[in-house]
Structure formats: C-alpha cells, structure tokens
Amino acid sequence: MPEIGRVVKVLRGKDEGSYAVIVGIVDDRFVQIVDGDKRRFDQPKKKNVLHLEMQPVVSHEVTDSMRETGRVTNAKLRFVIQKAVQGKENDCG
C-alpha cells in the first residue's frame, strides 16, 4: 500500500529502474514521487501505483519531516534512497 515516505522502484517510463520516495498521494491510483536528484521535491512526478514496485523501506525521517514542515530536503531524499538501495544490495550479496 502506498504511503508517504515509502521507497519505490520505478518499473515504467523514462525513469525505469530508478528509485524514488513517495511524497504525496493523489488518489487510490496515483502518487507523487521524487528522488532529490533529477526529480526535485519542488517538482514531484505523478505516477500510477501500478508502475511502481513498493519496497519494504519506509523512511520515518521523510514522514516526520513531511508531517512537521510539509516538505523534505532533496539531500535527505537522496540519503534515504542511497541507504535503501545499499540495504537491498547487502541482502542479495
């Protein structure tokens, strides 16, 4: 189930194979994602949830920041994604 702060892998589109974080839920089919790098917090991408693979990682840093200030820094987003991807690589290896 999509939730704010969840790390996702993009399965479709030009960003296919990259990771992002959900920062907004539009409705039951669409969410807003950002990666802090190419896709900054100020310009979230609207994506169909069917085109995303939900990862088991939910960043409490992102959810807390969104709840308190309504935004999150791009550096924090990059850090969260990097940590999630490294954790995934460690699980496989």
| CATH code of residue 67 | 2.30.30.140
The answer to the question of residue 1 being in a domain is: no
Q: What is the pLDDT of residue 8?
A: 97
Q: What is the domain range of residue 86?
A: 6-92
CA distance linking residue 25 with residue 12, whole number of Å: 18
Identify which has the larger pLDDT, 67 or 92: 67
- Tens-digit pLDDT profile for residues 32-78: 999 999 999 999 999 999 999 999 999 999 999 999 999 999 999 99
SS3 label, residue 40: coil
The answer to the question of residue 87 being in a domain is: yes
Domain count, the chain: 1
The answer to the question of residue 20 being in a domain is: yes
- Tens-digit pLDDT profile for residues 52-62: 999 999 999 99
pTM across the whole model: 0.93
The answer to the question of residue 46 being in a domain is: yes
